[in-house]
Structure 1
């Protein structure tokens, strides 16, 4: 099969490209480095010619709607016009979450559905690296802050890349399809995440300070809207503790 990977120069996209190539299939990297621009559409039609599937890992939150929303829709329209199966990565829990970036990801899904072509959307929880970033940003010295009951169910990036490759190389849907959400094996509080990070450095567990959720966005995280309901997501990949032990943070 011939699989185009949009955003192939990024962390997730490069892992998807390796997964597809390692299984003996042709990979076509698509990014601005290779002359493909999702915002302008430059190079998109030519790159999709002869492709069986395209995996969209392209994103740039710093550019607002341009890549996350409009770029995804432009790719979906181009894929639909050429009958190419689009596989798109999204985020668990965005249906009722006020975070601006999550609202954009939801609009991207809606645009893909409206394009009318064969498409599969895979929602994943936050990657291990992002969960670690949040915990470290909420920590100062021996103190770690938590907002209400805030928690994550972080997932291994390599495992998500495997699932995206599975979908791209698997049966082609006839229309828009939501695949089963994916998540890591453990639900962890901010305090538990920071404890694992500090233990790897040989430091003692932090003193956790609980703060009230102020505003709609913090309340959504405090209510764990970013964590899937038990049994609703497929779980797998390395645990956060295993990822930390591997020294990848």
Structure 2
């Protein structure tokens, strides 16, 4: 099969490309690095030519309106012009519809566009990556003081998430646009626990914790567990502490 991967040079996209090729299929990375500008559509039609599926990993927390919303609309338009359209596997975030964070709101708008397109599309929501939780844990530590936010996560290993996305891409396309089961890692951990684990891994003093109240709608949503997977989520990959033990924290991005 020929599979196009938007954001193919990113943290997730590069893992998807590697997995597709590992299984003996053709992976076509699609990003500005490869001459494809998703926000304008430049080079997109050429990249999609002859493709069987598209794994849409391109995303920008900084400019989600352009990349996640406008880019998705460009992609949907290009797919609609294909005969037949390639199966779209769309990456999204667990709980994005329950949080007012601007990035998450953009993710919801992109999801709505995909699910309303009528195309063969599978939306796959995942939890935060281990790398992101490690980054947040570091930011929440100032000197020897740990800011204990009311925040828990069940992060997922990006390589395992990539495998799940590729499985969807290689599978039978749905008759229309659907949401698949959410995916998450096996370990639920608080931010305080994650910060302590990162500091211990780096042989730094654990320090003292200062509790920070969940002020504002965004922090309250996280405190309410909006980012946590439901009981029917697909669980797999290594947990956060095992990921740290394998020495992966240096890959934080």
User: Taking structure 1 as the reference length, what is the TM-score of the superposition?
Assistant: 0.95
CA contact (8 A) 1:81 1:117 kept: no
Q: Which runs of 5+ in 2 are unaligned?
A: none
Within 5 A, what are the aligned runs for 1:28-67? 28-67=28-67
Instruction: Supply the distance in 2 between the matched residues of 1:37 and 1:202 (Cα, whole angstroms).
Output: 43
Q: Secondary structure at the match of 1:24?
A: coil
Q: Distance in 1 between matches of 2:210 and 2:61?
A: 30
- Secondary structure at the aligned position of 2:116 is classed as helix
Q: CA RMSD in A?
A: 1.2
How does the TM-score come out when normalised to structure 2? Answer: 0.94
Partner of 2:120: 118
In structure 2, the partner of 1:12 is 12
Q: How far off its partner does 1:204 sit?
A: 4.1
Map 1:1-249 to 2 at 5 A: 1-82=1-82, 83-148=85-150, 150-229=151-230, 231-249=231-249
Question: 1 CA distance for matches of 2:95 and 2:21?
Answer: 31
Aligned residue pairs: how many? Answer: 247
- Cα 1:206–1:234 change in 2 (3 A) is farther
Distance (Å, rounded) in 1 between the aligned partners of 2:37 and 2:246: 35
Cα displacement (A) at 1:176:
0.4
Equivalents in 2 of 1:34, 1:128: separation in Å?
27
Residues 191, 206 of structure 1: 8 Å contact kept:
no
CA contact (8 A) 1:80 1:116 kept: no
Q: 8 Å contact 1:6–1:30 — kept in the other structure?
A: yes
Q: Which runs of 5+ in 1 are unaligned?
A: none
CA contact (8 A) 2:90 2:124 kept: yes
Q: What secondary structure is seen at the aligned counterpart in 1 of 2:16?
A: helix
- Is 1:77–1:115's contact at 8 Å kept on the other side of the alignment? no
Answer with 34-43 or 16-25: which moved more: 34-43
State which drifts further: 119-128 or 196-205: 196-205
Structure 1 position 248, deviation (Å): 1.7
- TM-superposed CA distance for 1:194, in Å, is 1.1
